[in-house]
Amino acid sequence: MSWALDPAVTVGDALVPGASLHYELAGEPAGSSSAVVLLHGGETDRRLWDDQFLPFAQRHRVLRFDARGRGRSSGVSTPYRAHDDLTALLDALGLDRVHLVGLSLGSRVAVDFALAHPERVASLVLVSPSISGWNWNPAELGWMVPLFQAALEGRPERATELWLGSAYLAPAMADADVAERLRKIALDNAHIWSTTDREVEPWPSARRRLDELSGPLLIIVGEHDVPDTRRIAEALQAEAGDVRRTDWPGVGHLPNMERPDAFNDLVLQFLAKVDAAVG
């Protein structure tokens, strides 16, 4: 079921196996240009892309949606694979070949989808990248101990505030407008800290298959993101094909919110070059 939000945007809820995913679709197909799918990070929802959704729709058909258990999508009640949810949503909306722009958790889903369905991916834009199968360095995750403790104590709002207060989010939270928007999104999704994670990781994981990614692929990394994020970017550079990487000084985990104009210019230029090459 869907309904018109305005002449350019359609809002709806699509049924996928075991869940309902809330989505927004904007823009019109433009020649050979592939649609763009925006995949948000784990502690957020589709609103993470407020600075990109309509600007990108001036040039592309653009889809953003709430992942299972986030935003207005249904909760997590059964085991699932996030990239299978993406496959089912694209099928429901009749979107065949797409550009995937994913941030953090969203980038992990994008990579898993690209490995499962390479013929459906025009390009990948991985922002603050994550990949399935990555062994995170426990020595660098000490800041998360009180966060998980708060979650175990049934205090998801406290866990959210600890997440917002982390060093890698400090650049975003230093901007009053961004901080207000991000806190609203994060608190609306605070329940994730006390929700049983039923996501099933693909096997073999992406970590074992990076050499199967043939590009084109753009990586965007912030200077103040966690060290493992930069290591993931290095692994992608070393093992995947046709990779371009941009590192931004003074930026943390959310460059699309921290530097939206520069982010939009960079990504739209990249997408234009990819579409021109196949057009």
The answer to whether the predicted template modeling score (pTM) of the entire model surpasses 0.85 is: yes
List the one residue out of 190, 166, 175, 145 whose CA is nearest residue 253: 166
What's the rounded mean pLDDT across residues 134-160? 92
User: Would the pLDDT of 279 be above 80?
Assistant: no
Task: Tell me the C-alpha distance between 130 and 231, whole Å.
Answer: 10
Q: Per-residue pLDDT tens for 84-120?
A: 999 999 999 999 999 999 999 999 999 999 999 999 9
Task: Tell me the C-alpha distance between 279 and 270, whole Å.
Answer: 14
**Res 197: pLDDT:** 81
**Res 76: pLDDT:** 87
The rounded Cα 267 to chain-centroid distance in angstroms is 14
**Domains recognised in the chain with CATH numbers:** 2-138+197-278 (3.40.50.1820)
